[in-house]
């Protein structure tokens, strides 16, 4: 497996894509290295975040990966297989994503007729976390972090707030769970690394504010469950594991945790 990690390695593919002389649709996953993603976006007319649900039947993913794969990998696979206008894909497939992401990328290289480039982001240059620590609604925080990979989502309305709760984890497959939290919920975990563009920064991923009650969230079948489980025990938080959709029992558990720690629902 060859990882593309520099513009010099990307440029031959960029030249081939430009030679197609047509509007290009780029699909990407994870947090690719900033120079690579910016250059790829610059030559593309449309950009699709393959990590995000798009209404596709994710069971289609089972043609190339096991059913027990996490919802994020199944979403990536189904989007890659079913989006009809994809021209090329840049797929995070190294230490910054997961082993599943790497093996999925190798599968997609075999079954798709378009370029699937595997990359890795090892940057540890932190940018700060104004969105994670803002007073915006938690759902909007996460949307801005995710959408910020494509375009700048910072603006003058972002102000730091003192946290009342913490949400630790990856962007959930089902964003509706974020609507349960008060606005002064700070984001931790891999989503915090995502805002920083440092997805391999394990020290930042393990950062938790011990002074606030925190919910530790992970997708079912994801290895990050091990870390979420340990941190939840260490900081007396609530460990939550969800496969695809957040059901009523999970929401009730979260609401009870927030209630006990002071949020009036």
In order of 37, 192, 233, 241, the CA distances from 227 in angstroms are 28, 15, 10, 12
pLDDT in tens, 74-88: 999 999 999 999 999
**pLDDT tens across 42-76, in order?**
999 999 999 999 988 999 999 999 999 999 999 99
pLDDT at residue 2 in the model? 86
Tokens representing residue 179 in the block = 């609507």
List, in order of start, the domains of the chain with CATH numbers: 7-119 (3.40.50.11890), 138-260 (no CATH)
What's the pLDDT at 262? 82
Torsion 112-200-205-234 (CA) sign: positive
Residue 155: predicted pLDDT: 62
- The predicted model gives 3-22 an average pLDDT of 95
Which pLDDT does position 1 carry in this prediction? 72
Confidence of residue 238 (pLDDT cuts 50, 70, 90): very high
173-210 tens-digit pLDDT: 999 999 999 999 999 999 999 999 999 999 999 999 99
pLDDT of residue 263: 62
Q: What pLDDT is recorded for position 265? A: 47
According to the model, what pLDDT value does residue 41 have?
96
Length of the chain: 265
Cα 181 to Cα 84, 140, 185, 251, 252, distances in angstroms: 36, 11, 7, 11, 12
pTM for the structure as a whole:
0.93
Coil, helix or strand for 168?
strand
């Amino acid at each position: 497996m060859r990882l593309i990690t520099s513009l010099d390695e990307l440029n031959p593919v960029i030249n081939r894509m430009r030679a197609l002389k047509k509007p290009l649709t780029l699909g990407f996953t994870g947090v690719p290295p900033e120079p690579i993603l910016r250059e790829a976006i610059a030559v593309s007319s449309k950009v699709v975040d393959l990590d995000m649900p798009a209404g596709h039947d994710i069971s289609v993913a089972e043609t190339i990966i096991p059913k027990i794969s996490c919802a994020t990998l199944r979403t990536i696979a189904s989007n890659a297989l079913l989006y009809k206008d994809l021209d090329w894909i840049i797929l995070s497939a190294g230490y910054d994503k997961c082993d599943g992401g790497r093996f999925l990328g190798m599968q997609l290289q075999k079954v798709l007729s378009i370029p699937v480039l595997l990359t890795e982001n090892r940057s540890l240059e932190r940018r700060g976390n104004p969105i994670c620590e803002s007073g915006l609604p938690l759902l909007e925080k996460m949307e801005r972090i995710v959408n910020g990979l494509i375009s700048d989502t910072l603006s003058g309305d972002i102000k730091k707030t003192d946290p009342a709760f913490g949400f630790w984890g990856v962007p959930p497959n089902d964003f509706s769970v974020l609507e349960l939290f008060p606005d002064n919920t700070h984001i931790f975990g891999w989503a915090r690394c995502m805002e920083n563009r440092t997805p391999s920064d394990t020290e930042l991923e393990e950062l938790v504010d011990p002074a606030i009650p925190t919910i530790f969230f992970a997708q079912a079948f994801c290895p990050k469950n091990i870390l979420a489980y340990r941190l939840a025990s260490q900081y007396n938080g609530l460990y939550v594991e969800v496969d695809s959709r957040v059901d009523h029992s999970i929401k009730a558990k979260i609401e009870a945790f927030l209630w006990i720690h002071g949020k009036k629902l």
